[in-house]
Structure 1
Amino acid sequence: MSVDNKSGNLVHKKIDFAHILEKVRVFAPATVANMICGFDVLGFAVDEPGDEVLMYRVAEPGVRIRAIKGDAGRLPLDPQKNTVSACVQMLLTDLGIENELGIEIELIKHMPIGSGLGSSSASTVAGLFAINSLLGNPLSKEELMPYCVEGERLACGHGHADNVAPALLGGITLIRGYAPLDMVRLPVPEELYAGIVFPQVDVPTRDARQLIKEKVALKDAVTQWGNIAGLVAGLFQNDYDLISRSMHDVIIEPTRAILIPEFYAMKQIALDNGALSFGISGSGPSVVAITRGQEVAQVVTEKIQQHLSANDIDSFKYVSSVNIDGPKVLPFNA
């Protein structure tokens, strides 16, 4: 699907104020960007962790942050600086109703910031999905996507879509191009699982991106192209052996792995215990084992956690199938 850049041409959308909801609660999932070999062009959503947004319609016009929970005070309450409120404000402005509607937002962070699991993406997607739901769903997901990408630009300085696209659309997504944004949803093999471990070390996204070389050797580029093509073919053919052979990163991983303690030891543990592949989730420090089946993912993550613990490194783990649905509205009092 091709998506035009955010253009401000949404004023033709007619909002029925009589049917705007008073409140809505939305969950949006974490994501594994890059899918090991597809830097900035591949990503998939998982069932957990994720973030929640509780959104309320209020009398006073404007967008405000009522509260943020689970962030240890790290995120700004200023609505102009918080990506969730800033993107909601942009959308309301483009709809031409920024002076007619009052919105207050509670952001609940269930996932760690700086984890490499698309923390800012999950929050932004939850916020935009929530405002669209509150308004009666006047916009398609494709129309919401440019605002999600803008949220990434605000959060980390680079408007990439390999986190926000799977978070919003669900499943596995290929970002074919950015001018205009062109996304392809890929098939999801039924037994494909992710075993994710988040070591408690700090790897800021901006720092991780600065380590990446601007030029790569042609032989490495050819290898990477073949791996991405092989992975896509493996997904279409439901061929786990081809998926395994293809999920290798010769360009980004060798540089970013330096920032993640025990990376190669964790990788060996994953492969020795049946993982199809192993690599870095997004910019790290989270790592991901791609497996065939839940049981293998459980074993791999447990053994990696044991190894990290023996080296005095705390960690969280998550085991999930690929989340094919993306964000969802939750019962408000659940």
Structure 2
Amino acid sequence: MSKSLKIFAPATVANLSCGFDVLGCCLDTVGDEMVISLSSTPGVKITKIVGATLPFETHKNVAGVATEALLKEYGKNIGIEIEIYKKIKAGSGIGSSAASSAGAVWAVNHLLDSPFTPNQLIPFAMEGEKLASGNAHADNVAPALLGGFTLVRSYSPLDVIKLHTPKDLFMTVIHPQIEVKTSDSRSVIKNKVSLQKAIHQWGNVGGLVAGLYTEDYQLIGRSLEDVIIEPLRSILIPEFDTVKTTALKNGALGCGISGSGPSIFALSRGNQNAIVIAEHIKKIYDTTGIDFDIHVSKINNNGVKILNN
């Protein structure tokens, strides 16, 4: 077995408008870096954190909790040391906690000669998400571990499916430097929806999955519509409506809230379209006085990957 591993733990976009808690996709140009090592001292230890103020206590750190869940199932008392180099800001809506959780379990599994399949790693990473938000959702950790687009068909029992990813899909993401915690954004969601809206949303989920497999970009665009969550959460994000209108006007297939926000995603066909949309969105936020980051990325079809030291 290898003794140490340096990895890239990717950012992700969850929900994809129509698929609250069940759909997500993996980004390629933004993510954390982690170094995971086997140790002669039993137990999980967080040894270094750079780029964010996060707890070193294992039971308070999502990477630590996820790793402990894996080792409990593995059944052997071994030692793991974790270094975290955060490049995804907490509360950004592009899977900061998921990157740490998924990256940790993927790397530990690799160091142990892969006793678990990628799908079997998902429940371990979900324990990290539960610590972060109070809800063990899989729509970020699944694409981080499997790559591409993923669908959580069921949570009980857990059934996650990797979907087809057309090569021409690119994502533009703007992250306003305001924090919208997942727990806070969930508090604005209603517990009940009308049958009419549910039917509308189900149709969009099916349409998006069909569009991905048939590489029908217009169908993908028509399906990126959220009639349930977005109307409630969008009010928490400055200039959301303006960004969405501008992105669609300039060729985006669809535009919506990334995860729980405040990041906004726009899905495009082709890298050049994604860059043009980024330029237009930048102009909007330049007038707000709010600091922001913009990312343009192809869809990462592989998920977590090993980095050369």
TM-score, with length taken from structure 2: 0.97
Counterpart amino acid of residue 130 in structure 1? A
- Quick one: which of 267, 275, 297 aligns to 1:298? 275
The unaligned stretches of length 5 or more in structure 1 are: 1-19
State the partner residue of 2:264: 287
Alpha-carbon distance between aligned partners in 2 of 1:236 and 1:133, rounded to the nearest angstrom: 30
State the partner residue of 2:76: 97
C-alpha deviations, 1:74-113, integer Å up to 9, x for none?
Answer: x110012111112212222322222xx2221101111111
Equivalent pairs counted in the alignment come to 309
- Quick one: which of 6, 28, 38 aligns to 2:9? 28
Alpha-carbon distance between aligned partners in 2 of 1:237 and 1:298, rounded to the nearest angstrom: 25
The unaligned stretches of length 5 or more in structure 2 are: none
Alpha-carbon distance between aligned partners in 2 of 1:137 and 1:186, rounded to the nearest angstrom: 23
| Higher alpha-carbon deviation: 137-146 or 25-34 | 137-146
Alpha-carbon distance between aligned partners in 2 of 1:220 and 1:90, rounded to the nearest angstrom: 37
Give the conservation status (yes or no) of the 8 Å contact 1:26–1:129. Answer: no
Q: Displacement, 1:302?
A: 1.6
Indicate yes or no: 2:111 matched with 1:139: no
- Quick one: which of 46, 49, 52 aligns to 2:27? 46
Alpha-carbon distance between aligned partners in 2 of 1:67 and 1:31, rounded to the nearest angstrom: 23
- Quick one: which of 241, 247, 254 aligns to 2:218? 241
Give the conservation status (yes or no) of the 8 Å contact 1:169–1:325. Answer: yes
Task: Please list, as runs of the form range in 1=range in 2, the aligned pairs for 1:159-170 lying within 5 A after superposition.
Answer: 159-170=136-147
C-alpha deviations, 1:25-44, integer Å up to 9, x for none?
Answer: 11121110001111111110
Q: Displacement, 1:57?
A: 2.2
Partner SS state of residue 129, structure 1: helix
State the partner residue of 2:105: 128
Alpha-carbon distance between aligned partners in 2 of 1:291 and 1:250, rounded to the nearest angstrom: 21
- Quick one: which of 41, 53, 60 aligns to 2:41? 60
C-alpha deviations, 1:155-174, integer Å up to 9, x for none?
Answer: 11101111011010001011
Q: Displacement, 1:58?
A: 2.5
After superposing on structure 2, the runs of 4+ consecutive aligned residues of structure 1 that deviate more than 4 Å are none
Alpha-carbon distance between aligned partners in 2 of 1:150 and 1:123, rounded to the nearest angstrom: 11
Partner SS state of residue 58, structure 2: coil
Alpha-carbon distance between aligned partners in 2 of 1:240 and 1:61, rounded to the nearest angstrom: 50
State the partner residue of 1:88: 67
Give the conservation status (yes or no) of the 8 Å contact 1:193–1:292. Answer: yes
C-alpha deviations, 1:135-175, integer Å up to 9, x for none?
Answer: 12222112212101122112111011110110100010111
Q: Displacement, 1:272?
A: 1.2
TM-score, with length taken from structure 1: 0.90
Give the conservation status (yes or no) of the 8 Å contact 2:66–2:126. Answer: no
Q: For the pair shown, which has the larger CA radius of gyration, 1 or 2? A: 1
Q: Displacement, 1:292?
A: 0.8
Q: Displacement, 1:48?
A: 2.3
Counterpart amino acid of residue 86 in structure 1? V
